[in-house]
Structure 1
Amino acid sequence: MLTIHTAELLVTGPTGPGSAPLPGGAVLVEGDRIARVGPYEELAAAYPHARSRHWPGVLTPGLLVRGGDELLERTYYPDDPYEITELGADPITGAEALADLKMTEARWGNSARRGTQKLLARGVVALAGRITVPSVRTAVSRSGLAILPPAPYEGPAALDPFAGRDAAEQAFHGVLEPGAPARFAAFAVAGPAQLLEQGPTTCVATVIGGRLLHRRR
């Protein structure tokens, strides 16, 4: 099935010659790839039977988060609502606190599944890190997130892909162009500068492999 995704502003990648943001731009997705990029009116006229999804704000490449192993193998995400009363809602880190939880591989896998949902809700499509726990790796694989080699970062790992970044574009993973994997996100902000300022929780949709894996209700 052909699907056209459009927003008030399309940012295909880091800004530069030939990659200026396109107001009213859109991407045409066929299967797990981007087939065409251009103005929405042009794509809609050329493919009248394609399904259209209109998102508020800006459509950008999906985001890359660093420290994936720290986020998913050394951070526990309590199960809402079952564990919130006892453990609280905040992620749990630190060797002593994790030891008190008596973590098993199965429990790590369940925590990682909840962690990947938090990442998808922030427009993340890939994580950098050395994932070694089999159940965690399975959870990441099933989520659709790509696993990349570790990348340097300062301070503790954060669910926010913009942490330690000077520009939102620095967190983009890939570019939106014909033939590229269909992995992108939409954010309810005016543009990249506002995205960096307001953060990834403005995400309204995340697409990986042409599939809509997160949609804010």
Structure 2
Amino acid sequence: MLTLHRADALLTGRGADPLPGGAVLVDGGRITAVGPYEELGARAPQARVRRWPGLLTPGLVLHGARELLEEAYHPDGQFEADRLGTEPITGAAELAALGLTEAGRGKKKRGAPPKIPPRGVVAVTGRLTVPAVRTAVARSGLELLPPAAGGAAPGVSGARRAVSADPFEGLADVREAFHGVVAAGGPARFAVFAAAGAGSLREAGSAACVATVIGGRLLHRRR
């Protein structure tokens, strides 16, 4: 099924200029065309149209998957906050006291691992050792990449750091967090942020993510 994703502006990659009224035409899990909405709409009048407020960009890469997914437990805000609080639980003794099964460590919500917040993430780096967690990541469609060189994310010095769930943290230019480009023939993998343009993306932050698309399907949509 053809889907036309229209945004206030389209930023196809790190060095590109924003295209006002840009759109992305998706067929299944691939992008078939990128360009002005009027042009693509006329080209595929039968396509379902999704209108997004803000800036459509490549999806983001998040570093430190093992620390976030295997070395911390993020309580379910709806069902566990009263008993466990809302902050991530870390430490071998604290995690052991939870009595988590392997299946519990790999549980998913809405098709994605629950420990990755909806911030436009389409890829993670790290080496995962828990089979259920690896399975959850694969089923979500997230791409698993090798650890960053030296164990640190780009723009962050030092081999060890407190891993953040924010893909923009420590980056001089938030566009360094882009994973790939939005281009015809490429995978339908991108994100939309409530930002007016590239210059305001830093101020808006990754938490301003409106939607995340992986493999042509909505992994996350702000309601």
Deviations 1:169-188 (A, max 9, x none): 10000101111100001011
For residue 95 of structure 1, what is the amino acid of its counterpart?
A
**1:174 paired to 2:180:** yes
Equivalent in the alignment of 2:8: 8
SS at match of 2:196: coil
Equivalent in the alignment of 2:76: 79
Query: Which of these residues, 41, 44, 52, is aligned with residue 55 of structure 1?
Result: 52
**Structure 2 matches for 1:29-48, cutoff 5 A?**
29-48=26-45
Deviation of 1:113 (Å): 8.2
Q: Judging changes above 3 Å, is the alpha-carbon distance between structure 1 residues 204 and 125 closer, same or farther for their aligned structure 2 residues?
A: same
Deviation of 1:104 (Å): 2.6
**Structure 2 matches for 1:10-159, cutoff 5 A?**
10-15=10-15, 19-110=16-107, 116-117=113-114, 119=116, 121-151=118-148, 152-153=152-153, 154=156, 155-159=161-165
SS at match of 1:26: strand
SS at match of 2:107: helix
| TM-score, length basis structure 1 | 0.92
Equivalent in the alignment of 1:197: 203
Contact 2:117 2:165 in 1 (8 A): no
| Distance of 1:177 and 1:167 partners within structure 2 | 21
Deviation of 1:115 (Å): 7.1
Unaligned runs of 5+ in 2: none
| Distance of 1:53 and 1:114 partners within structure 2 | 20
Q: Which has the higher helix share?
A: 1
Contact 2:103 2:132 in 1 (8 A): yes
Deviations 1:19-76 (A, max 9, x none): 3211111111111111011000000011111111110010000000000111000010
Deviations 1:160-199 (A, max 9, x none): 0001111111000010111110000101111223222221
Contact 1:35 1:179 in 2 (8 A): yes
| Distance of 1:129 and 1:10 partners within structure 2 | 29
Contact 1:120 1:214 in 2 (8 A): no
For residue 75 of structure 2, what is the amino acid of its counterpart?
P
Equivalent in the alignment of 2:220: 214
SS at match of 1:110: coil
| Distance of 1:119 and 1:189 partners within structure 2 | 21
Deviations 1:69-112 (A, max 9, x none): 11000010113333211110111112232232233312211279
SS at match of 1:59: strand
Equivalent in the alignment of 1:183: 189
State the number of aligned residues: 214
Contact 1:168 1:193 in 2 (8 A): no
| Distance of 1:49 and 1:111 partners within structure 2 | 34
SS at match of 2:79: coil
| Distance of 1:195 and 1:99 partners within structure 2 | 39
Question: CA RMSD, aligned part only?
Answer: 1.8
SS at match of 1:163: coil
